[in-house]
Amino acid sequence: MTTLANAQLDADGFLTNAEDWTPELAEEFAREAEIELTDRHWEVIDFCRRDFAEKGTAPTVRRITKVGGIPTKEMYQLFPGGPGILAARISGLPKPKGCI
């Protein structure tokens, strides 16, 4: 099983292959960012993974708020270290490409 110790990460610390992701790995990524995953986090993660499967790119914060329905303010409460990178990293996706 993929763990943070043996996972293939890119230079920015994102999982190289989204297929390698497991919920356990999400917990590990979260712990590293000092985040304890709640149900609300899992809603974000589920949306990100679903959206990635459809679109092939990791959703930006704006997309998570507009399409995923999680308010901006809450995104920053859920991912205080920066929702733009953490939501994607914890979801096992590459770094989002958009600027917004």
Partner 1 sequence: MSTVLEQAPAATSEAPREKKTTRKIAIILSKGSLDMAYPGLILANAARMMGIDAVLFFTFWGMDIINKKKADKLHAGMLGNPSSPMPHALMGLPGMEGFATRMMKRKMDEMDIPPVSEMLEMLEDAGAELYACQMAMEMFDLDQSDLVPQVQEVITAMDFYDKSEGAQIIFI
Say how far residue 36 (Cα) sits from the centre of its chain: 13
Site string for partner 1, 68-97 (x = CB under 8 A): ---xxx--x---xxxxxxx-----------
Q: Does 11 bind partner 1 (CB under 8 A)?
A: no
CB-CB contact of 92 with 21 (8 Å): yes
Q: In terms of CB distance, is 23 or 82 closer to partner 1?
A: 82
The span from the CA of 27 to the CA of 20, in Å, is 14
The question of whether 99 is a catalytic residue gets the answer yes
CB-CB contact of 92 with 18 (8 Å): yes
Binding site for partner 1 (CB under 8 A): 61-62, 71-73, 76, 80-86, 99-100
